[in-house]
Each structure stands twice: as structure tokens, then as C-alpha cells.
Amino acid sequence: MSAEVTARTRRRLSGLGRVEQRWGWFFALPAIAGFLIFTIGPMIASGVFSLTDWTIGLSPRFIGGRNYHTLIHDHLFWKSLTVTAYYTIGSVPLVLIVGFAIAMLLNQKIKGLSFWRTVYFLPTLVPAIASAVLWIWIFNPDFGLLNALLRGAGLPTSQWIYSERAAIPSLILMSTWGFGNAMVIFLAGLQGIPRQLLEAASIDGAGTWARFRSVTLPFMTPTIFYNLVTGVIATFQVFNQAYVMTQGGPNNATLFYIYYLYTKAFTQGQMGYAAALAWVLFVIVLIVTLLLFRNARSWVYYEMGDAR
């Protein structure tokens, strides 16, 4: 009797389970199909294209790994990689520091808090192209805001994006404009820090710095890590600034990797070679991300040790 009941219960549950499972797949299907058709499919296609000599207008010809071989000897490939790495190394830490600092400020109890939070997030909402055009004017050596400020303070001025040496630092400076997203995530992280720990630290006599150093910062490491990884991935794909502001110049100083890929694919029609460029970037970003994850073990703190 009892065995029979158990069996019946189990069968009924598994029946329900079956229905749920089927519906689960059904509901997940649009996302899965989209991922397969619009992400995995094109990825595989571009992998195949990267093994061909395909110039738009001509039929593709299979050439094996020759595109990848050409790449090694293409000085513009190395130039674009260097430029992009330079930008990433400069921009990511700067955005993290600025975003974190402002998140700390906006985590205080002050009047009009939500107003200030909105104000600091606003630049992020400006469309990318609009802000690029705005910055062209800010960087204008003759009438631009930055040089006007420097002149006003009696400091030497700069040619900004028009100078080979200053172009990337200028764009790094400009990238802090987009700190809003990182800031919001930091802010969420800061709100998650257990109040009792900060209070306990205060009672034990810890000052502001000690509380920041020993409580806030360790609790924030997962958030910092998240912003670091997404920041690195995003900056490797920087494009708008070169496209709108500098066209890769002067003298290829701002020839970002994706901009170079774009000109190869859509200006010169060399689809096979551009696909090879895309795959190389994918592998580079993958390796950098894996290295970051490996390195994270030594400095990212999770409250629940297993959650990593």
C-alpha cells in the first residue's frame, strides 16, 4: 500500500516535472534560437570566412591559414593592437577609480541625493555619437573648452586629438565621461556592505581610512572585479571615437583594432581578412579575461567562500 502510494506520487510528480521541463525549454527557446542564429551561427560563418580569400564582389577562395599568416606581417595589425591596449590600460583603471570615488560620494547621506545621482549618471545617457561630436569641440585647440581653461590658468595648451602623442591620452581622458555605468554598479555594491561591520569597526576605534581599507574595500572587490572585466572587454572594442573624431589619425595614432577591422571589411571589402582579425581579437579578449579570472582568486573576496 505505502509502496503503491509512493510510486503513484512519484509518477505524478515526474509527470508534472515533465510538463514543466517541456515548458521550460519552450520559454527558453526564443533566447536559445536567437543566440544560435544571431551569435553562434555568424561566429562559425566568420570562422569559415577567415580561412578564405574573400573580397566583396569576388567569390571566396579557400586559402587555409594564410590570412592569419598575413596578419603577423601586417604592421597596421600590430599598430592597432598596441593602440587599443594602450587605451585599455589607460582607460579602465581611470574609469574604475573615478566611478568608485563618485559612488562613495553619492553613498553619503546628503540633501538631494537622488538629484545628484541623476546628474552624475546623465553623461552616460548622452548617445555615443553626440558625445563624440561634443568632445571634438571640447578638444578644439583654438576655441575648445580645455585649452580655454588651460590658457585661463596660464598653463601650456595641448593639440589634444590632433597630435600624435596626445591623441590616445585625450581619448582616455574623454572615456571618464562614461563612468556612470560603473558608478551605478559600485553604488549597488556599496549599499550591500553590512552596516553592522562598519559600526563594529567604528566602535573598535577604526578611522575613516581604516574602515574603508579593511571593510569597504574587501567587500567591494567582487564589484571591482566585475567592472574590471566588463571594462576591459568593452575598451578592446572601442570604435566610435576613431570613427567620428579622428578617423584613426593622426598618423594612425588612434587606429583602434575594431576601426581597422571595419575599414578592412567595409571600406576595402576584404571580408576574409577582416574575419581573421575578428577571431584574433576574440582569442585575445578570451585570454585576457581568463588571466583576469585566474588572478582574481588572489584578491577578490567573496563573503560566501564557495560562491565564486
Say which residue the cell 549597488 belongs to.
188
Q: Yes or no: say if 248 and 256 are a contact pair by the CB < 8 Å rule.
A: yes
* Residue 41 makes contact with another protein by CB under 8 A: yes
- Which of these segments, 10-18, 80-88, 115-123, 172-180, binds another protein (CB under 8 A)? 10-18
Query: Binding another protein by CB under 8 A: which of 6, 8, 13, 18?
Result: 18
* Residue 16 makes contact with another protein by CB under 8 A: no
CB count, 10 Å around CB of 160? Answer: 23
Q: Nearest approach, Cβ of 173 to another protein (angstroms)?
A: 17
Q: Nearest approach, Cβ of 255 to another protein (angstroms)?
A: 8
* Residue 141 makes contact with another protein by CB under 8 A: yes
**Which residue, 48 or 285, is less far from another protein as judged by CB?**
48
* Residue 127 makes contact with another protein by CB under 8 A: no
Q: Nearest approach, Cβ of 266 to another protein (angstroms)?
A: 4
* Residue 17 makes contact with another protein by CB under 8 A: yes
Q: Is residue 298 helix, strand or coil?
A: coil
* Residue 36 makes contact with another protein by CB under 8 A: yes
* Residue 208 makes contact with another protein by CB under 8 A: no
Going 139 to 145 to 148 to 154, the CA torsion angle's sign is negative
* Residue 6 makes contact with another protein by CB under 8 A: no
Say which residue the cell 561630436 belongs to.
133
Going 216 to 104 to 185 to 89, the CA torsion angle's sign is negative
Cβ-Cβ contacts under 8 Å for 137 (sequence gap 6 or more):
143, 144, 145
Task: Return d(Cα 107, Cα 166) in angstroms, integer.
Answer: 35
The conformation of residue 304, written as its DSSP 8-state character, comes to: S
Query: Binding another protein by CB under 8 A: which of 2, 108, 208, 267?
Result: 267
Question: Which set of grid coordinates corresponds to residue 155?
Answer: 598653463
* Residue 76 makes contact with another protein by CB under 8 A: yes
Q: How much helix, strand and coil, in percent to the nearest 5, is found in the chain?
A: 75, 0, 25
Q: Nearest approach, Cβ of 127 to another protein (angstroms)?
A: 16
* Residue 145 makes contact with another protein by CB under 8 A: no
Say which residue the cell 567587500 belongs to.
219
Write the binding mask 156 to 175 for another protein: x where contact by CB under 8 A, - elsewhere.
---x-xxxx-----------
* Residue 302 makes contact with another protein by CB under 8 A: no
